[in-house]
A and B are shown apart, each in its own frame.
Chain A
Amino acid sequence: MLDNLQNYIIGISLTGSFLVLIIKKYSKILALFFILLGLVLSSLLIPSVFQNQIFIYEKYFIDFFSIIFVADGLSIFMAVVSSLIGILILIYTFDYLKDNQRQNIYYFYFTLFIASMFGFVFSENLLLMYIFWEMIAIVFWRISSFYGNDEQLKASDKMLYTTFLGSVFMLAGFALIYSDYNTLNVLTLRGKEISALSAFFIIAGLLAKSAQIPFYIWLPANSKAIIPSISLLLTAEVGVYAFARLFLMTFLVSPVVFVTIELISIITIIVAGALAFYESDIKKILTYSTIAQIGYVFLGLSTKNSIGFSAALLYIIVHGFGKAGLFLSAGIIEKQTGITDMRKLGGLVKTMPLVAIGFSMCALSIIGLPPFGGFFAKLFIIMSLVQQGKILITVLAIVGAIFTLLYLFRLYNTVFLGKIQNEANPGKTRTMTFVVLIFGVLSLLIGLIPNFPLSFIDIIK
């Protein structure tokens, strides 16, 4: 039964998303059902990871294109994490979009988005990966322009242009690999050395997707509405997964590539941290923070040692939970007050105490303070850097962490504490608050029992 479950996961969620579109009446339940099914099915694969079992499904088409879906530790990990975050976000949006006429379209996009995430993480052919990669970009483009005002449309176009620019480079890189080895199968390419040029081409695509330094412009632009902001969190983590998959588990590349990634990510951490400290719009602060935290994941992966790898994967979970919680609380604040400029807000802890608790838990986790999960993630990142003997970069990473402390607590203070500036209009946001609290509790749980995710991550290596 477990054999090649990954095919069913992809197939079911893809067809499911179209069912969501067709059967308008039950779109909510169907979307919930299919993403939940994806989560359950991919969790069913977890035991096989502990038994060191890998499922490979291959169907040959033409010489360079074959459909290969592989369920190994890394892909199952990504599938479980992203569908878990996805399902909580979906529950939240039920409440958020309650009065929207076009909400079934959004559920369709979102299910398709998760489906293409599944497709991307399980596929092991470079061309197939590219197809799902672009699918993610296009679906996200539609999600981003869901609230179709002009500015938002422009921003989503910006996102599509930038990531497409990146992925064109990536495709060129794949082509160079094909010309060297006559195959695009990731499994046969394992352990092969690729030229620095093709590596840099691929990295351009990854950086564009993960919004790292030369390409980060699109992400803050997309943070006008909360709906895309939530999904861009997952989008950004896709790039990290691709980096881990291609450069750590597949190709052999020259160390120059890793040094470049390291430099880019440390610059991103500092620059995005400073920008987040400068901004005063809640969602912009959170998006800059996302860019900076993704930088930490890249930093961990770029060390190439085992601590760095577990640190990066732990960081993906912790940051996913924490940042989702922050974005969702920003959404509640927007829903209740209609304002996202933090200078015009204040004293919200009196009207929404539970959101404040959830927000502070997630913020503490992102900052990296114990007993929250972020502490261990940041600790391992710093350990891996020190183990490589990169003292200067470590110091800068610590500076980035201090930036995080500064801007997130400034945000918390001005929004939740102090004088009440705007009367919140008490709408019914019980489900939304509940989801935020769940993310907070999950962040706490990872901090209290870090062995649980870490033992899984240790097997993936």
Chain B
Amino acid sequence: MNILIFLIILPVIAGIIALIVKKSAKILCILTTFLTLVLSVVIFSRGEINFSKQWLSYGIDFSLRAFPFSVICVLFSSLIAFLISLHLIKKENIKIYYFILILINLGIVNGVFLANNFIIFILFWEIAAIILYLSIRIGGENSYITATKSLYIIGFSDFCLLLGIILLWKINGTFNMHKISYLSPSTFYLLPFTLFCIGALAKTGLMPFHTWILDASKDASTEVMAYLPGAVDKLLGIYLLVRIFTEFFKFSEFNFNLSLILMLIGTLTIIISLMLALVQEDLKKTIAYMSISGAGYMLLGISTNTILGIAGGIFYMFSAILWASCLFLCAGNIEKQTGTTNINELGGLAKVMPITFFTMLIASLSISGIPPFNGFFSKWIIYQSLIELYKNSHSSLVILFLIIAMFGSALVLASSVKIIYSTFFGNLKEKFTEKHLKEIHWTMWLPISILSLLCIISGVFANQITLKYLINPSLNEQLILSGFWQPSTATIFIIIGFVIGIVIYLMQIIKNVRKTETYTYGEDPEIFKDGFPGSDFYLSISNARPFHSIYKRTTNGIFDSYNIAISSIKFFSILVSNFIDEYFHHLYEIIENITVTISKLSSSLQGGLLSVYIFWSLVGFMVLLFLLCR
């Protein structure tokens, strides 16, 4: 047996065992995810591994291939699965199905990453969609509506991807993912390319397919959000997108307009989701919007179709997985301790939950692109790629995208300041002061600490670790970065700066500290007596004239492409039922009436009256006579 098969089979079998022996589920989940993590590290050190076995006819072989990028994806999915199961293990009232689904999902997702045959790929890819449906459905009584919505959206995109794969098979004559011959731009590639992109975009949760993530953030539990839309689905979608650009549709004269369209989608995703993130009052929903905007940056980077942009996209994906999972898990911790994620009901938690506070702070700083964390470096590469692209193409649109993306960075910071302030600063609410809140169990803070530590490490040692071991092997190319940015040197400077500041503070060199009233932005100080609610931070934006009505309509779901699609399908089916179906019913009735009329006529001819019979016999006789004597 090949070592690659273990990566797929081991978690799935463990999941099935857990399904039968429910008591063993927790321990089995921890052990298996850890084992998979170790296995993937082992495979990573071994380099490329191939495995192929004849399965069905028409070139559908069960072939697997491990190459650096796919193994890194496996590594990340196993890591996240391990951390999530660690997070869940001591949580009370947790359903055992979580562990089973985490296990099976891990095996299936590894299958997607390792598949070297398109059919095997889509097979695992679609099973992942079913597991997503089941995972969201655990959430609660009404979570099935969201689960179905996500299944509809993902299912639609999966069918599109399936068609794309088969069209590519028609063009190339093979299902082997590695042997795809580079297409020449003259061949028919626009339709398969679009279909592939739909598949990748919907899985990643980019516009216009993003709405399922938002609904899920409301209905599904935070663990599921941290695991699936936060991490695994991003891995899957971006993995496919990267392979689309670097392998499946790689040709010298790639149509630049296609790039521009995808970049436009990315930019729109960034700006719209962040504008909406500003005004959310729910912690989980804000994080969901921020994670969607992250997907926008990835798409923006990868669709530049330059090596720099793709590297930036991959780097951003790895960083985004770390901080998105971290933020969702922090939100989960807060929800567990306080019972709510509404930011107006929270506040002052920094004292009682210091570890959650620090991890969430690091993750938010990272997501906002503050140096020296990983968010800054990955955005930095994406910006560079956009500038390079502008130099080559002289398209002013690219510069526009760059400016919007940079503005988006500021909006992320604004949203994270809002959530950090409103959950951790200010005064603890009265109902919580009585409850004696305390820090959560160590199994729940360890995963988020690891995630935030990784955020720091991958940012500070970006050149030494992240680029060297993750990005360069994935692309098989050495990156040439322009500009001067050495994160580790910068970090040393930042630390030195901090130390100097602390020294100055401790030595109390500056004696005369100026004390003034708190600046209240010209507002009446009375209204801030009870603290300043985080939801009011950006009221001036949401109340501004053009935005107000747009925000209102978005909340009503008017811009939800899913609602539009479903209602148009309903309209179509009503049309079909009222016209086509009716028409066939009429047709049947007409035929029925004709038959009845004919039979009535013939029966009236044979009424049993002697005179009628004699009349007809005479007529017949005359006709015969006429024919014979003619």
Residue numbers of A with Cβ under 8 A of B are 158, 161-162, 165, 213-214, 216-217, 270-271, 274-275, 277-278, 307, 364, 367, 369-371, 375-376, 379-380, 382-383, 386-387, 389, 391, 394-395, 398, 401-403, 405-406, 409-410, 413, 417-418, 450-451, 454, 458
Contacts and interface: CB of A to CB of B under 8 A. Distances in A.
Given A274-B577, A369-B126, A214 B155 contact: no
Contacts of B547: none
19 contacts: A214-B587, A217-B585, A274-B569, A274-B576, A275-B576, A278-B570, A278-B576, A369-B129, A379-B119, A382-B166, A386-B167, A386-B170, A391-B167, A394-B163, A406-B152, A410-B148, A417-B144, A450-B56, A454-B56
B580 A371 contact: no
Given A271-B580, A379-B162, A370 B127 contact: yes
Given A367-B155, A369-B129, 6 more contacts: A271-B580, A370-B123, A383-B58, A391-B191, A401-B159, A418-B142
A369 B130 contact: yes
A162 to B, nearest CB: 7
A101 B167 CA distance: 57
Interface string B69-108: 0000000000000000000000000000000000000000
A402 B159 contact: yes
A389 B166 CA distance: 11
Contacts of B169: 383, 386
Contact of A398 (B129, B130, B163, B577): B163
A417 B57 CA distance: 40
Interface of B: 55-58, 119, 122-124, 126-127, 129-130, 142, 144-145, 148, 151-152, 155-156, 158-160, 162-163, 166-167, 169-170, 191, 569-570, 572-577, 580-581, 584-585, 587-588, 591-592, 595
A417 B138 CA distance: 12
B230 to A, nearest CB: 24
Nearest to A417: B144
Nearest to A419: B141
Nearest to B595: A161
Contacts of B572: 274
Contact of A413 (B148, B159, B587, B592): B148
A144 to B, nearest CB: 17
Closest CB pairs A-B (n = 6): A274-B576, A274-B573, A278-B573, A277-B573, A417-B144, A278-B577
Nearest to A410: B148
Contacts of A417: 144
B212 to A, nearest CB: 14
Nearest to B134: A360
Nearest to B155: A405
Given A275-B576, A370-B127, A379-B119, A162 B162 contact: no
Given A409-B148, A454-B57, A386 B166 contact: yes
B55 A451 contact: yes
What DSSP secondary structure best describes chain A's contact surface?
Answer: helix
Residue among A371, A382, A401, A406 with max Cβ neighbours from chain B (10 Å)? A406
A312 to B, nearest CB: 15
B130 A364 contact: yes
A394 B156 CA distance: 15
A215 B577 CA distance: 16
B193 to A, nearest CB: 14
A364 to B, nearest CB: 7
Contacts of B570: 277-278
Contact of B126 (A158, A162, A274, A375): A375
Nearest to A394: B163
A7 to B, nearest CB: 34
A449 B415 CA distance: 50
B252 to A, nearest CB: 26
A152 to B, nearest CB: 17
A451 B62 CA distance: 12
A402 B161 CA distance: 13
B137 to A, nearest CB: 8
Contacts of B166: 379, 382-383, 386, 394
B588 A395 contact: no
Nearest to A387: B170
A205 B127 CA distance: 40
A217 B126 CA distance: 35
Contacts of A458: 57
A410 B148 CA distance: 8
Contact of B144 (A216, A275, A307, A413): A413
A310 B124 CA distance: 23
Contact of B581 (A275, A367, A382): A275
A310 B279 CA distance: 55
A17 to B, nearest CB: 32
Contacts of B123: 370-371, 375
A140 B530 CA distance: 78
A397 to B, nearest CB: 9
A369 to B, nearest CB: 5
Given A277-B573, A413-B148, A307 B127 contact: no
Which of B123, B574, B595 has the most A CB atoms < 10 Å from its CB? B123
B569 A277 contact: yes
A371 B159 contact: no
Contacts of B144: 413, 417-418
B262 to A, nearest CB: 22
Contact of B155 (A271, A278, A402): A402
A375 B127 CA distance: 11
B584 to A, nearest CB: 6
B584 A214 contact: yes
Contacts of B142: 418
A370 B166 CA distance: 16
Contacts of A213: 584
A367 B166 CA distance: 18
Contacts of B191: 391
